[in-house]
A and B are shown apart, each in its own frame.
Chain A
């Protein structure tokens, strides 16, 4: 077992540009669910919109990248309005149903053969990352972090991504300690009470949906910048539930919750994955793997990481239900 490789790769995964994408998607969901109590089960839809609003204009229509980024902002706001206007006046469950459906519609649209000319269908879109490559100040062969090699482009995405995370997290933190954030929290606690005190609940929910959706779209954008390919299968409902897992891990309604939650989540998954990969590997010189094949073999170990991640989450919820940064006192009143 090459522990230095396993550990360095797991640590890198926890801070990589891919992790940045998860942090942003989860941060957006934290604004919706954590602070405002909006049950958004379609955060993957916002991420998909962010990804494709960048890749379609650049790949298909050769737009300059600042316009494509503007497109990410505009389309995520439009999606939030489309989701919010019919549902935010209704009970919380309606938003949940509509968001999960819309996210699936978006994914199926991106996947459809009929629109392959636009979205690239199942193969997705490539070649939209050149602008990031062109302004990359790092040498192409990159650097080696411990035992992990990181190429120049990924390093550049990692650095800019963490700057983005710092900006977004600080922004959310600043908003949530302001009177604006106080109104959001009051909506989460009891929207009738907030209404009786003269707060326009609908407007605040809408703003929350827009802000969180926009941050989620940035996450989707970073995800496909890192993969250098935008593909519909990356935006399935599972992505949304990973984001929920992350904010529950890190602590709901905490600014640093998504950051720490993502790092733990991705570290555990990656660590389990490559440890098992090593433990089940057979080579011509060494035909017997470390783990006996009747337990797990090299064809089915990749499923095990999610079993272990699920187990870890279950243990955390039992031992520390408020998450890593949550406030234990709040748990006592969590029943409504």
Chain B
């Protein structure tokens, strides 16, 4: 279970004493369909927060809005005191919020170690003029490689170091993507369905890796459908349905929340989802 006891109000939009991410009035519509309409949400620092909800609830769209892969029609999101809305995706990543994808994006025709190296931020050799002269980036490259190898070992991928990433299994790709995200040294890691398509044996080790992120002082926000997993590792759960946050709380709070049960069972049409 959770490392710390959390005692926030289990209501949608509840205040956290140390929120790393604060979202206000974020709305995104595709034509007539309002995919996301989040009034107020705070994500607690150095905790594992799960974002759950039935299919089509707008979780991934919400993820895209936060990470700059899509921009909201209006609304603000503040990460560590800095505005995120309207920022390009790469700038969000540089601020320390790095995401993974529901469908893994391993860079197939590059080796595993090159995938890892790519993740490192502030590389001198990524400038075209300095790139031309290897003495200018050799030393940094060696540091990056050492860090990448450490992470590969931690994620049990060391033996795949020089293989092309396209040759990895589905589960290994999930691991690689997570390890690669860590190369950026993010403060907050956003995982979009980290368990999708992963076999049960690997699931357990993935869970440990996610807990490890929190133990290192990072914040995790993840989208997941596997409720067992959500219950096992999350400190806090945010529930979305039809683009709206309908509930927040610990797994105990959520399990007994009528709005959540209704949302999952599809009986919410005539109930008040703003739900107090």
Contact = CB atoms under 8 A, between A and B. Distances in A.
Interface of A: 171, 174-175, 177-183, 185-186, 188-190, 192-201, 207, 211, 329-330, 332-334, 336
Contact of A196 (B99, B141, B167): B99
Contact of A194 (B94, B118, B123, B137): B118
B89 A196 contact: yes
Interface stretch (B31-39, B73-81, B107-115, B251-259): B107-115
A185 B110 contact: yes
A197 B98 CA distance: 7
Contact of B69 (A182, A192, A194): A192
Given A179-B125, A183-B118, A198-B90, A174 B134 contact: yes
B109 A179 contact: no
B164 A179 contact: no
A180 B127 contact: yes
A199 B90 contact: yes
B121 interface: yes
Nearest first, the 8 closest Cβ-Cβ pairs linking A and B are A333-B166, A180-B131, A178-B131, A179-B125, A198-B93, A193-B105, A189-B107, A333-B108
Nearest to A193: B105
Interface majority SS (helix, strand, loop, mixed), chain A: helix
A195 B118 CA distance: 11
Interface of B: 67, 69, 88-91, 93-94, 98-101, 105-110, 114, 117-119, 121, 123-128, 131-134, 137, 141, 164, 166-167, 180-181, 183-184
Given A198-B121, A330-B109, 13 more contacts: A175-B132, A177-B134, A179-B131, A180-B128, A182-B117, A183-B118, A195-B88, A196-B89, A197-B93, A197-B98, A197-B183, A198-B98, A329-B167
Contacts of B99: 196
Nearest to A179: B125
B216 to A, nearest CB: 19
B132 A181 contact: no
A197 B109 contact: no
Contacts of B183: 197
Contacts of B91: 198
B69 A179 contact: no
Nearest to A210: B128
B125 A197 contact: no
Contact of A182 (B94, B108, B114): B114
Contacts of A336: 108
B190 to A, nearest CB: 9
28 contacts: A174-B132, A178-B125, A178-B131, A178-B137, A179-B126, A180-B131, A182-B117, A185-B107, A186-B110, A189-B107, A189-B109, A189-B110, A193-B106, A195-B93, A196-B67, A196-B69, A196-B105, A197-B90, A197-B98, A197-B183, A198-B184, A199-B90, A211-B128, A330-B166, A332-B166, A333-B109, A333-B167, A334-B109
A182 B126 CA distance: 8
Given A174-B134, A178-B134, A193 B128 contact: no
Contacts of B67: 196
Contacts of B128: 175, 180, 207, 211
Contacts of B114: 182, 185
Nearest to B67: A196
A196 B100 CA distance: 8
B119 to A, nearest CB: 5
A276 B180 CA distance: 57
B145 to A, nearest CB: 11
B74 to A, nearest CB: 22
Given A179-B126, A333-B167, A171 B132 contact: yes
A197 B110 CA distance: 15
A192 B164 contact: no
A181 B107 contact: no
A173 B89 CA distance: 29
Contacts of A179: 117, 123-126, 131, 137, 141
A118 B275 CA distance: 74
A197 B89 CA distance: 9
A106 to B, nearest CB: 26
A180 to B, nearest CB: 3
Nearest to A177: B134
A333 to B, nearest CB: 3
Contacts of B127: 180
Contacts of A199: 90, 118, 126
Nearest to B108: A333
Nearest to A180: B131
A211 to B, nearest CB: 8
Interface centre among B93, B100, B108, B134 (most CB of A within 10 A): B108
Contact of B105 (A175, A182, A190, A332): A190
A199 B184 CA distance: 11
B101 A192 contact: yes
B126 A183 contact: yes
Interface centre among A174, A186, A189 (most CB of B within 10 A): A189
Contacts of B166: 330, 332-333
Contacts of A186: 107, 110, 118
B202 to A, nearest CB: 21
Contacts of A183: 118, 126
Contacts of A194: 118
Nearest to B190: A196
Contact of A175 (B89, B94, B109, B131): B131
Contact of A198 (B94, B100, B108): B94
